[in-house]
Each structure stands twice: as structure tokens, then as C-alpha cells.
Amino acid sequence: MYITAAVLSVLLALVSLAAGVPKVLLKGDVPAGLQSHMGLSAALVRFIGLAEVAAFVGLVVGLFWQPLGIAAAVGFGITMIGAVGFHTKTGDYADPATRGNAMAPIILALVSAATAVTLVLAM
């Protein structure tokens, strides 16, 4: 079970890092879209990015100390549930043009849950 937990942790860590760094730096299309389309402030976008980068750190360290990995996976999952709420609020799931991008937080929340469960079972 540890191998499954490690693979899920590494994959989720890489995704969280790739998602978080542009938001922290406020560079690229995603932070700009969050600010214009969803109406988020630059400070909130940067905070979300920091939470995603912290999830990366927690998931990597969690390979060696599972309680931290579990907390990071749960925290990242909660962040993704918040993202689902924002996508719902802006109507992204009803619009075929934005529905594809809005599905990513749902999938990542499920992967976060699977990662947390496998880390618990690997203890």
C-alpha cells in the first residue's frame, strides 16, 4: 500500500506545485483569469497559490512522515472543494466553454481523498 500512497503523493505534489507557483508569482493566464473571470483579488490568488505550494511541501515530506502527508492531502482537497464552489458560483459548470477547466478541481479533490486514504492505510 505504501507504493500506491507514494505514487499518488508524488503525482499530487507535482500538480499542486505546477498549479501554485504561477498563482504565487501572479504570472500567466490562470491568475489573470481568476482575477478577471472570478473576481478574486490578487492577494487571494497569491494565498491560494501559497496553499498549493504548501501542499507540495507537505506531500513530499509526508512520504517520510505520513501524518504530514495526510494533512497536506486533506488540506489540498479542501482547497479544491473551495475551487469547485467558486466555479459553481460563476456558472462554469453550466457553460460548455468553461466546463472542461472547471472539472480539474473535482478530479483533484478525489485524488486528494485517495491519497489521504492510502497514506492512512500505509501507516
Give me the residue spans of the domains in the chain. 2-122
Give which of 29, 10, 31 is closest to 115, Cα–Cα: 10
Say if CB 72 and CB 59 are below 8 A apart.
yes
Contacts of 89 (CB under 8 A, 6+ apart): 38
Q: What is the DSSP letter of 93?
A: T
pLDDT at 11: 96
Q: In this predicted model, which residue has the larger pLDDT, 123 or 18?
A: 18
pLDDT 10s digits, 77-113: 999 999 999 889 988 888 888 888 889 999 999 999 9
- For residue 12, what is its C-alpha cell? 499530487
